[in-house]
Structures are given as structure tokens and as C-alpha cells.
């Protein structure tokens, strides 16, 4: 027996609801809308600004400030570079598994994962510390598809590499 998907849609212009059946359905609605916001000890009492990359708008806000970036992917590299360009006093990138490994400017350091924040002092896994004015979380997004029924939702720890997808992209074996 081949299972099919029944997709029900509402045409708001004509106020008509209709259903169609499909063998496969590709959900291409994007998933960069629900930030993955980890909590570290001391965040609730940190006296500076904590924001997710999703909310980052203007590097000028961080001019002359000591910035801590948590994460090591594209957003971390991009936001850190913008903060450097617009005059951040220092940039500290905290990674979970391994550093990005680039040759950074003198005021940009990579350190192991943040463990806690006490006042404005960030404490890292390797025992080092750094006073920071702001923390930018470049920690990705949660996959959120609230329009899917529970039996169709992904049951993974936010990793999406189902069979027959290459890095989340549809492809055909040939």
C-alpha cells in the first residue's frame, strides 16, 4: 500500500477550501524563524545585552564594546566581522566542538564553550575568563512547522538529514 498525503488549502481570495492528494510533499516554508536560545548560568543576572543573531541589526551598537559570540558558523563569522569592522573593542568567539580556525585580527579570540557568566565576566571551559558588554547567540534555529500534525513532525534533536536528501536538499539518484 502506498500512502498519500492529503493537503488541504484555503484560497483566501475566493474563500474556498479544497483538498488534493500527493505522493510526496516538500515543505519549503523556511525554518529560520524560531531562534535556538540556550541558557547559561548567570544569563538572568548579566548586566549587558544578550541577543540572538536573529535580532542582530546594527554593528554600530557594539562600537567600543567587548563582545562575546557563542557559536561558530556563518552567522558568528558574519556578525563578528561586522562588529570588528565597525569598531568593537574585542570579539571573543566561544565554540562547542572546535574553533573556526581562521587567522583573526589581534582583538578577536576563539575560546572553548562558555560555562557561566558572573556579573560581566564570562567563564569558559578551559578556565579562562573575559569581561564582556554583550553576548550574541549565533546558535541556530529550531525546526518549527506548527502547521503539521504531530505524526508528521520531525522527531529529531533539530537535525534534518532524512534519507534521500543531501544536506537537506532534494536530489534524485541517477
Q: DSSP letters of 57-70?
A: --GGGGTT-EEEEE
User: What pLDDT does 161 receive?
Assistant: 55
Distance from C-alpha of 130 to C-alpha of 44, rounded to nearest angstrom: 18
Contact 36, 142 (CB under 8 A): yes
Cell of 15: 474563500
Task: With H, G, I as helix, E, B as strand and everything else as coil, classify residue 76.
Answer: helix
User: Under a CB-based contact definition with an 8 Å cutoff, are residues 56 and 79 in contact?
Assistant: yes
48 pLDDT band (50/70/90 cuts)? Answer: very high
- Average confidence (pLDDT) over 35-39: 92
Query: pLDDT (tens digit, 9 = 90+) per residue, 49-102?
Result: 999 999 999 999 999 999 999 998 889 999 999 999 999 999 999 999 888 888
Could you report the per-residue pLDDT of 154-165, keeping only the tens digit for each?
666 655 555 566
Cα–Cα dist 174/164, whole Å: 12
pLDDT at residue 166, as a whole number:
59
Beta bridge pairs of residue 5: 22
Domain boundaries, the chain: 1-31+144-173, 49-137
- Kindly indicate the confidence band of residue 170, based on its pLDDT and cuts at 50, 70 and 90: low
Mean pLDDT on 118-137: 98
Please give the model's pTM, rounded to 2 decimal places.
0.78
At residue 34, the pLDDT reads 86
Domain covering 49-137, topology: FAD/NAD(P)-binding domain (3.50.50)
Return the H-helix or E-strand segment holding 108. strand 108-112
DSSP, collapsed to helix, strand or coil, labels residue 71 as coil
Amino acid at each position: 500500500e502506498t500512502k498519500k498525503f492529503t493537503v488541504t488549502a484555503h484560497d483566501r481570495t475566493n474563500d474556498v477550501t479544497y483538498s488534493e492528494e500527493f505522493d510526496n510533499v516538500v515543505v519549503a516554508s523556511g525554518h529560520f524563524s524560531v531562534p535556538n536560545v540556550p541558557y547559561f548560568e548567570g544569563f538572568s543576572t548579566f548586566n549587558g545585552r544578550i541577543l540572538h543573531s536573529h535580532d542582530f541589526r546594527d554593528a554600530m551598537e557594539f562600537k567600543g564594546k567587548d563582545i562575546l559570540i557563542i557559536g561558530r558558523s556563518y552567522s558568528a563569522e558574519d556578525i563578528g566581522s561586522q562588529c570588528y569592522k565597525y569598531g568593537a573593542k574585542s570579539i571573543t568567539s566561544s565554540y562547542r566542538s572546535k574553533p573556526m580556525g581562521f587567522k583573526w585580527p589581534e582583538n578577536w579570540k576563539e575560546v572553548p564553550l562558555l560555562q557561566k557568566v558572573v556579573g560581566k565576566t564570562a567563564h569558559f571551559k578551559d578556565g579562562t575568563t573575559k569581561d564582556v558588554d554583550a553576548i550574541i547567540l549565533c546558535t541556530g534555529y529550531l525546526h518549527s512547522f506548527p502547521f503539521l500534525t504531530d505524526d508528521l513532525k520531525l522527531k529529531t534533536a533539530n537535525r534534518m538529514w532524512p534519507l534521500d536528501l543531501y544536506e537537506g536538499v532534494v536530489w534524485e539518484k541517477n
